[in-house]
A and B are shown apart, each in its own frame.
Chain A
Amino acid sequence: MKNLVLKSVLGASALVLLATAAASAGTLDDVKKKGFVQCGVNTGLAGFAAPNDKGEWSGFDVDYCRAVAAAVFGDATKVKFTPLSAKDRLPALQSGEIDVLIRNTTWTLSRDTQGFDFPGVNYYDGQGFMINSKKLSGINSALQLSGASVCVQAGTTTELNLADYFKANKMQYNPVVFEKLEEVNAAYDAGRCDVYTTDQSGLYAIRLTLSAPDDHVVLPEIISKEPLGPVVRQGDSQWADVVRWTHFALLTAEELGITKANVEELTKSDSPEIKRVLGQEANTKLGTDLGLTNDWVVNIVKAVGNYGELFESNVGAGSKLKIARGINAQWSKGGLQYAMPIR
């Protein structure tokens, strides 16, 4: 017995530390050195970021992470995903646990000035309400919701908009607040609250996971602007540029009709614009100036497709969500997505 005790004292050395030290240079260098992009995503939002049974991630935001990896390494598999709750996401980015956060994060002034940078908007969204139309059959407008219990995720802009909207319309409500998206979903599905509020895209995604999706309707009102996009730490413009231009590359590819299927073929195209974008111009420095290789756009499109393809397959017509392109269409088709020229 005595020996056991003595030896257990010696067990102090059983402490195994695993510190992954990296130089504190720019994020791009860090990422290249460690060999993968650590990407913060949603814990599970169908169409945007959700793991399947085998732990493989898929979704719109996930494909954006892959696109960044493809841009940096020419290999879309060199990315690791960190599922983050709404509350954890910004501290995780701040602390350097992740390199880029692509998790339906709304671009706001206060976030932009609190140490974060938003390289672009990959999805223009707005906050909406969902109700169980079977139980609340008479309701077809958010203005009829006075007195309702509203399920909302803690620490989101959604929570703030909700308070503002009900206050502005002089309505009462009872917030039911949870930390994790799954908890909010479960509470709504169990009838703990009458109304679910979050970004409309999210509502469509969540509806699919409810036990009776057809009973639920998304009300028409959009009560806020929610420009969702990737987030990086402030003060690292090189890395912000990589993420920003990855987004623009996806948009530009769609504009120019470059798709996953034809990108290989189009590298031999004669069109000066396509040549320039795909890095086929002689002595081009567009990619290397960004800190990447010159065929970065080829790598991105080869790996994940263009913006339109991403949209359709993950959240649009080709998915279960069937969200219309709406304001996320290209500027030339009446939407808001407008890529700065790659030249």
Chain B
Amino acid sequence: MADNNLSFVRTEMLQGQTPPIGERGIVRWIRLNLIATPIDAILTIFAIFLLAWFVPPMINWLFIQASWSGADRAVCSTVAQGGVMPDGWSGACWAYVNANFNQFMYGRYPLDQHWRVNLVGIIFIILLIPLLIPKAPFKVPNAIAFFLVFPFFAFFMLVGGWFGLTYVETATWGGLLVTLVIAFAGIAVSLPLGIVLALGRRSKLPVIKMLCVIFIEMVRGIPLVTVLFMASYMLPLFLPPGVSFDKFLRALIGVALFASAYMAEVVRGGLQAIPKGQYEGADPLGLSYWQKTGLIILPQALKMVIPGIVNTFIGLFKDTSLVSIISMFDLLGTVRQHFNDANWASPQTPISGLIFAGFVFWIFCFGMSRYSIFMERRLDTGHKH
């Protein structure tokens, strides 16, 4: 057995053979990923047909045939429609987006005051980015600046009427400006309000619990347009005669209340996931309810539901588009308002404008959802109860 002088035992190993062609490189990948089974092969062929049918015309329409610049509808309509394009032409009308770009961003905000919006935007980004990077220092002052100081700054800058800034009516605001203001304000209000409602719903005090449940379930049961409709037409009826809110503010209140009900349910999910031991551990330390909640329960609970919170933010961001139904001009509303512009009305205008608006919304929402996934992965450690 121990004899190792046997001549038929190899002393040196053969060079490993390259795997057969079907087991390596691109062929293997194709075999496994595209044609693993006959059904897969059929699906692949189907998908390729779908792509071939859909993608080249789309690229053609979006880029190759698109008309990129021009002064009016002529560049986006065919000769038969009164334009300069050959008959049968069909392509995106980016010229229309190009010409109205300022309107899409700022609405009718006075042209010479656009720097104010830009300044607010730049400061927003400067404050936001370090807040989003988990490793960046000065989280506390940063968050205070972002959530407490910035809203006031933005309010004074955008509305004006102070420090020599001219007053700009909210009625002239429009486009992406309105979308972002409503979304940010909605987020800044709905998060704390949602936390309060969630705590109220889990409260041991029956009256408070009942009130929170009624509010949350009612708001969640009705569509946002109804809430906006109420905020816009009913709120003035509820107030003493002569007192009236700015229309913009009314929409803001509607959106914020709506979002806070959804936020409350997300936060409640987090609160329910906190093991009982955490509460019991806090009690013998002599912490009051608010100390216990603020220092022990909430930090853990909120951390756990950050993805849910971001998803609510995404929903809120998308929901801002509904203010166009109550005659306010957010990005979507502004884009639509310009469809009927006699200067630009052409068969290609609406779809081009909508694709542009969709793209802007998509970038924001996709960015948020990616960030949520990133945070989910980061926070995934040490929280497996």
Are B152 and A7 in contact (CB-based, < 8 A)? no
Chain B contact residues (Cβ within 8 angstroms of A): what range? 35 or more
Q: Is B44 among interface residues, defined by CB-CB distance under 8 A? A: no
Are B108 and A14 in contact (CB-based, < 8 A)? no
Determine the residue in chain B with the shortest Cβ distance to A180: B327
* Of the residues A6, A9, A211, contact of B82 by C-beta under 8 Å: A211
The 8 A CB mask of B326-353 against A (1 = contact, 0 = none) is 1100000000110110100110001000
Given A5-B303, A9-B192, A14-B189, also A43-B246 (CB < 8 A): no
A residues less than 8 Å from B143 (CB atoms): 3-4, 7-8
Q: Is B356 among interface residues, defined by CB-CB distance under 8 A? A: no
A residues less than 8 Å from B189 (CB atoms): 12, 14-15
Q: Is A85 among interface residues, defined by CB-CB distance under 8 A? A: yes
Q: Is A1 among interface residues, defined by CB-CB distance under 8 A? A: yes
A88 to B234, CA, bound (A): 12
Are B245 and A19 in contact (CB-based, < 8 A)? yes
Binds A, one of B62-70, B236-244, B314-322, B357-365: B236-244
Given A2-B299, A9-B195, also A14-B188 (CB < 8 A): yes
Given A5-B299, A10-B148, A95-B244, also A209-B236 (CB < 8 A): no
Given A7-B143, A43-B327, A95-B237, also A82-B244 (CB < 8 A): no
Chain A: residues with Cβ within 8 Å of the partner, total of 53
> What's the minimum C-beta distance from A233 to chain B, rounded to whole angstroms?
10
> What's the minimum C-beta distance from B144 to chain A, rounded to whole angstroms?
6
Q: Is A185 among interface residues, defined by CB-CB distance under 8 A? A: yes
Q: Which of B144, B188, B193, B247 has the most CB of A within 10 A?
A: B188
Q: Is B180 among interface residues, defined by CB-CB distance under 8 A? A: no
A residues less than 8 Å from B325 (CB atoms): 179
A residues less than 8 Å from B236 (CB atoms): 94-97
B residues less than 8 Å from A30 (CB atoms): 242
> What's the minimum C-beta distance from A308 to chain B, rounded to whole angstroms?
28
A80 to B171, CA, bound (A): 10
Do most interface residues of chain A lie in helix, strand or loop, or is the interface mixed? mixed
Given A83-B327, A211-B342, also A9-B246 (CB < 8 A): no
Q: Is B151 among interface residues, defined by CB-CB distance under 8 A? A: yes
Are B242 and A23 in contact (CB-based, < 8 A)? yes
Q: Is A109 among interface residues, defined by CB-CB distance under 8 A? A: no
The 8 A CB mask of A82-118 against B (1 = contact, 0 = none) is 1111001001101111000000000000000000000
The 8 A CB mask of A19-39 against B (1 = contact, 0 = none) is 111111100001000000000
Are B345 and A88 in contact (CB-based, < 8 A)? no
* Of the residues A11, A20, A94, contact of B246 by C-beta under 8 Å: A20
Are B244 and A97 in contact (CB-based, < 8 A)? yes
Given A4-B139, A10-B144, A186-B339, also A21-B242 (CB < 8 A): yes
Are A16 and B151 in contact (CB-based, < 8 A)? yes
A210 to B346, CA, bound (A): 11
B residues less than 8 Å from A24 (CB atoms): 240-242
Not counting A14-B151, A19-B243, a sample of 12 additional A-B residue pairs whose C-beta atoms are within 8 angstroms of each other reads A1-B303, A2-B299, A9-B195, A9-B298, A11-B148, A19-B245, A55-B172, A82-B247, A84-B327, A95-B235, A189-B340, A210-B342
**Mind listing 17 A-B residue pairs with CB under 8 Å?**
A1-B139, A7-B139, A12-B196, A14-B147, A14-B152, A22-B244, A23-B242, A24-B241, A30-B242, A43-B327, A51-B108, A55-B172, A80-B171, A84-B327, A186-B339, A210-B342, A211-B81
Give 6 closest A-B pairs by Cβ, nearest first. A95-B236, A11-B147, A7-B143, A12-B192, A24-B242, A55-B108
